Chains A and B, each alone.
Chain A
Amino acid sequence: MSALNIKKGSSAHSAYDLKNPNAEVIESHTLTVVVDNEAGVLARVIGLFSGRGYNIESLTVAEINEEYHTSRITIVTTGTPQVIEQIKAQLGRIIPVHSVNDLTVEGPYLERELALFKVSGSGEKRVEALRLADIFRANVVDSTLESFVFEMTGTSEKIDAFADLMRPLGLTETARTGVAAISRGNT
């Protein structure tokens, strides 16, 4: 059989970057999916994930092209390399899906999330919250004598870190948008 030595993977056209399916390593991937903005399209995507038991860490969607009625969905998902490949192939099967891109595989990319934090308190804690917000470049978008609402844009990790700091200082409410992502460079 050594004569039958062939290279793995199909061709330039193939999306299958073959990896060991038994590898138990769980990877996090950021996928962007361009879809027709029609009724039920989000349900198709979400139904695929729930029906086949895939994870959704974050999912955002909004129309990006009014003329062609297309929306862009950004999904952060986790799974073994084989599962990630399946997720992409299954997404590609949905009829209103135009394209599926795996930013994690395709090269450098940016991820941003917006978060709103309500922090209530007074005295030292209130001053400390404002000081930390300044360090993290969070904006104060609402204020009362006993509360702030901070607005912050950044990576999910940065937002997590800020939330951790705010918790002992009177964090009462959090709202996050989920991740929007785009590749770096001109393509």
Chain B
Amino acid sequence: MTRQMTGAKMILQALRDQGVDVIFGYPGGAVLPIYDEIFQQNDIRHILVRHEQAAIHAAEGYARSTGKPGVALVTSGPGATNAVTGLTDALMDSIPLVVLSGQVPTFMIGNDAFQEADTVGITRPCTKHNWLVRETSKLSEVIHQAFHVATSGRPGPVLIDVPKDVQFAEGDYIPPKKANTSRYAPQIKGDIDAITRLVELMEKAERPIFYTGGGVINSGPAASQLLRELADASGIPVTSTLMALGSYPASGKNWLGMLGMHGLYEANLAMHGCDLMVNIGARFDDRITGRVEDFSPNSKKAHIDIDPSSINKVIEVDIPIVGDIGHVLEDVLKIWKSRGRKTNKAGLKKWWAQIAEWRAVKCLAYEQTGNIIKPQHALERLQALTAKYDRYITTEVGQHQMWAAQFLEFDEPNRWMTSGGLGTMGYGHPASLGVQLAHPDALVINVSGEGSWLMNMQEMGTAVQYRLPAKQFILNNERLGMVRQWQELLHGERYSNTWQEALPDFVKLAEAFGAKGIRCEDPADLDDAIMEMINHEGPVIFDCLVEKHENCFPMIPSGAPHNEMLMGNADTQGVIGTSGAVLV
């Protein structure tokens, strides 16, 4: 039996049937019929953000912390163009999103109507797929297909553009079970021959390493569980990209810490010196590889990825395995166990001894002296004081993000939300609200810099309106710190436009929004201030005044290999050649 209904009603019905409980959005002329339907129902909660970019980032935070797709609703024209940054962010980080945009009526498309934009044209390169639905009869099936595409294979954002007349017209509703989604069916199971060859290498390798990426988290909690089991049983060390923090517990015995440009010395040198690298759901990003020609020169490399185009894109590998991480790891474990759980014990023992030597360098060491708070110290205290809470962390982009990755510890997946691929300043604040909505009783903290935070500061209004107690932990150095660091290292200390004059008084700003503001500038007050933030029931802006010229180390300069790391504030002048300077 089919049911007739308007397009607008159909959208709500389809979202309900897809299990959606919250959508983030901003109304406008081209989505009024949908907002009218939202008003007349209680199953799906709508969160009114203050800017469409924030709607997408909030949906990302929701998605990343739950494993479910995030849903956002924006109007035509500027509503849709404001969503572009968020869509690109989600595409780069493989976050499943379904974004609905309004469009001018079909008969006005192409006439430069008010608030008209070629939304499917603009969003084509920044979505996994998108649709312009011209007939109400096709709308419900497209929505179900959209959820299928967003969540299957390598997840990503999709967009459905719905002209206003399509929202008003009536059509037959097609339930999810009857929707045709069979056309898109990515490969899930890995090739058993290739997996067996990988196990053979693992059994013999003297210096193996697991290099894990966001794919482990996207595959679901079972994949993280399998990774733990495999690493702990085999004794193989684990490092991870920024995206995968928490997939292997920071408290686990095989954990080396994050790798990459600001990764740990031991993790990067282990990558450089290994004889077997198993890439599990990562993509050999340039923040990871450094100079490609010198990337891990003496290792056999295996790459497990659900996206065939990730394989051999940057680094040629010896064993490519296309498949879902969870499924492939399950097969790896099964085959490794059935062959007698063999490892190269003597080799591993030497390997761990070598790693211990690298660890002894203590690459994250810093000095907290005097009466100015070092940003690393602030994060170390934040870690110590929040570790026992049910805690979720989001970040913005810059030095604070790298320090957070270095100093905060994650024992579970889906606890760490950050903009990795696109590096979107302004991501963390709205993302923290999306996370808080999904986990109302959890302690959600956005670790931020003052520059990034101001990019989406308007979302304090959303936080206060919906009583979302997410904490905004701002490491305020009154500088665009990461850019400033690069200017110091690369551009002769000419600090061009990395100092924002006239920053707001963040305490007063919080109060202006009806939230609580806390300022801390003395290391002696830090613990009490952090506890005050945690114990406050509502949203807080925490203005932590930190050392203004601290640089983030270790650092692999652009264009350098893993074994040429800068370790600290020793003379770093001129270390990056002109070939590195052209890189970002």
Contact = CB atoms under 8 A, between A and B. Distances in A.
- The answer on A and B forming one complex is yes
Interface of A: 1, 3-4, 6-8, 10-11, 13-16, 18, 20-22, 39-40, 43-44, 47, 51, 82, 85-86, 89-90, 92-93, 95
Contacts of B132: 39-40
Interface string B274-302: 01100000000000000001000010100
A95 B300 contact: no
Interface in B293-328: 293, 298, 300, 307-309, 311-313, 316, 318-322
A95 B184 contact: yes
A117 B316 CA distance: 46
B300 A16 contact: no
A8 B318 contact: yes
A93 B201 contact: no
Interface in B310-348: 311-313, 316, 318-322
A93 B309 CA distance: 8
Interface stretch (B95-103, B123-131, B360-368, B556-564): B123-131
B244 interface: no
Contact of A6 (B197, B298, B313): B197
Given A6-B201, A11-B191, A18-B312, A95 B128 contact: yes
Interface in B244-278: 275-276
B120 interface: yes
Contacts of A15: 308
B97 to A, nearest CB: 15
A16 B320 contact: yes
A89 B201 contact: no
Contacts of A86: 309, 312-313
A10 B191 CA distance: 8
B45 to A, nearest CB: 30
A89 B309 contact: yes
B194 interface: yes
Instruction: Point out which of A8, A10, A15, A93 has the most chain B C-beta atoms below 10 A from its C-beta.
Output: A10
18 contacts: A1-B298, A4-B205, A6-B197, A8-B318, A11-B193, A13-B187, A13-B191, A14-B191, A14-B194, A14-B320, A20-B316, A40-B120, A43-B124, A82-B316, A89-B308, A89-B313, A93-B308, A95-B184
A95 B204 contact: no
Given A10-B322, A21-B316, 8 more contacts: A4-B300, A10-B191, A11-B191, A14-B320, A16-B308, A89-B311, A92-B309, A93-B307
Contact of A18 (B191, B200, B316): B316
Closest 4 CB pairs of A and B: A89-B309, A11-B191, A95-B129, A10-B194
Contact of A16 (B197, B200, B275, B311): B311
A16 B319 CA distance: 10
B318 A6 contact: yes
Nearest to A94: B129
B312 A16 contact: yes
A22 B316 CA distance: 10
A39 B132 CA distance: 9
Nearest to A44: B124
Given A10-B321, A43-B121, A1 B275 contact: yes
Nearest to A91: B309
B201 A4 contact: yes
A7 B197 CA distance: 9
B221 to A, nearest CB: 26
- The interface residues of chain A, by DSSP majority, are classed as loop
B263 to A, nearest CB: 24
Contacts of A4: 200-201, 204-205, 275-276, 300
Contacts of B311: 16, 89
Nearest to B315: A21
Contacts of B276: 4
B194 A82 contact: no
A39 B275 CA distance: 49
A119 B101 CA distance: 53
Contacts of B129: 95
B445 interface: no
Interface in B186-202: 187, 191, 193-194, 197, 200-201
B149 interface: yes
Contacts of B321: 10
B312 A47 contact: no
A77 to B, nearest CB: 15
Contacts of B149: 95
Contacts of A89: 308-309, 311, 313
A80 to B, nearest CB: 12
A139 B121 CA distance: 42
B316 A47 contact: no
B184 to A, nearest CB: 6
Contacts of B205: 4
Contact of B124 (A7, A11, A40, A85): A40
A164 B214 CA distance: 55
A4 B128 CA distance: 38
Instruction: Point out which of B149, B183, B275, B322 has the most chain A C-beta atoms below 10 A from its C-beta.
Output: B322
Given A43-B124, A51-B125, A95-B184, A6 B319 contact: yes
A150 to B, nearest CB: 39
Contacts of A8: 318
B201 A92 contact: no
A1 B125 CA distance: 43
Contacts of B298: 1
Contacts of B200: 4, 6
Interface string B441-475: 00000000000000000000000000000000000
Contacts of A95: 128-129, 149, 183-184
Contacts of B308: 15-16, 89, 92-93
Instruction: Point out which of A11, A16, A21, A85 has the most chain B C-beta atoms below 10 A from its C-beta.
Output: A11
